[in-house]
Structure 1
């Protein structure tokens, strides 16, 4: 496994850890009445979005540079494909589609965490825990 593949896999694993942390911190913050934990959980949702953006960027880079050390690139790409077809190959196949939809969902939930959650302090912990659970699933 080369550096690009390691970076992408590490980003996904860290995103999973951040989303699980968001669930735990939000629940603990609600139970212990610690707003700092709820805020940390909200920020973990934003970190998850950044990490999934990194992961999809790594796969996009691997597709454009014909880096066949990533299984998804081997399955959906070839050196003969034009660049715009390689971008479309990013979300083709089940792994690419799951990564693409996870990325979109993480961006939407990060926007929710940044814009809406601060406006609903009575439900911030529940909303953040649900967001983290959705991303972890």
Structure 2
């Protein structure tokens, strides 16, 4: 399925702006079965999704989550590498193995990722198709 590309310009990334944008997006794409919106975890996006796309799944942009991981672990390349390997794993066994290695390497990052929700950042655990809603081009 092909979706139209949509851009919105607003004064700020707040609930009001995100609600406006998602209303416009919903008008164009309707409500396809199994849609998933991927964002940078901004509260304005969460609030708007709860109103406009009630049953949509929500994912976390891998790039933005990686930026949080980098800040959390003081830019340790080995930890970042493990995070990306887990995020883009093709098989559950591979994801589990890499996440176990991450737990042994840097337990705090492991705990933070589990708190974020595996289904929200792991491709292999993703419950639905993804529609990216983000203010950056990294996703």
Larger RCO of the pair (alpha carbons < 8 Å, separation 6+): 1
TM-score (norm 2): 0.31
| Structure (1 or 2) with the larger CA radius of gyration | 1
Q: Which has the higher helix share?
A: 1
TM-score (norm 1): 0.31
Q: Which has the higher strand share?
A: 2
